[in-house]
Structure 1
């Protein structure tokens, strides 16, 4: 079962890559191929602007898309907004022992490797409690 799903996933990725060779490069990050269902190639657009642009150019591109997949009779574009990305937060917590070790290493490296010593000292400063 899992092998079949992985194989199907690879097929969709390959089809998506082929479709992206036919459609304009500026649209590539804004859509992905979902499936071919009852003769309809389903493309998922990340926003309304990408969907509008795809709908505008797809009639002219249909013959090229049909050449990529024999089962395609028409193309449907659906808008599926990407969820907003959460800002990254630094959850790194260093122990006092680790901070002491970095501080000692920074002091020892000061003469030979001042840039590394400065980076270690900054790390200690940022994570000191």
Structure 2
């Protein structure tokens, strides 16, 4: 279903759609003012009481933008009359979920580890590691 056709039937949805388009346009314009190497690391959040709020993907990009903000402010003010200052916030990164090991070893492989561990008694650390590996995969 076409979102614009649906929006014409609902005034609230039409207003929301127009605001969204305006913010997307402003975001594109702001990114054109930013240095090319920083553009992909930011998004425009809002203009709150005259303060343009930009969200940075990481601390390094945020620090870099904070350093050059005074020189960019006049250009940003030309884009939107309400912009008086700029605040950069860093988006907290979510930790990656712990990796799960789905490795399945055959019984033959587990037996080979055990046999190798027995043969390598003159290398106790290696023998112990192979024995632990065999025990770990024997339980699965």
TM-score range, shorter chain: 0.5 to 0.7
Distance 1:82 1:31 in 2: 14
Aligned to 1:116: none
Distance 1:2 1:85 in 2: 36
**Alignment check: 8 A CA contact 1:45 1:81 kept:** no
User: How much does 1:85 deviate?
Assistant: 7.6
Aligned to 2:27: 16
Q: Which runs of 4+ in 1 moved over 2 A?
A: 81-86
1:11-66 per-position Cα deviation (integer Å, ceiling 9, x unaligned): 11100100111110111111100111100000000111111011011111100000
Aligned to 2:16: 5
Aligned to 1:28: 39
Q: Which runs of 5+ in 2 are unaligned?
A: 1-11, 98-140
- The TM-score normalised by the length of structure 2 is 0.57
- The TM-score normalised by the length of structure 1 is 0.62
> Larger RCO: Structure 1 or Structure 2 (Cα < 8 Å, ≥ 6 residues apart)?
1
1:81-106 per-position Cα deviation (integer Å, ceiling 9, x unaligned): 354688xxxxxxxxxxxxxxxxxxxx
Larger Rg: 2
Q: Which runs of 5+ in 1 are unaligned?
A: 87-129
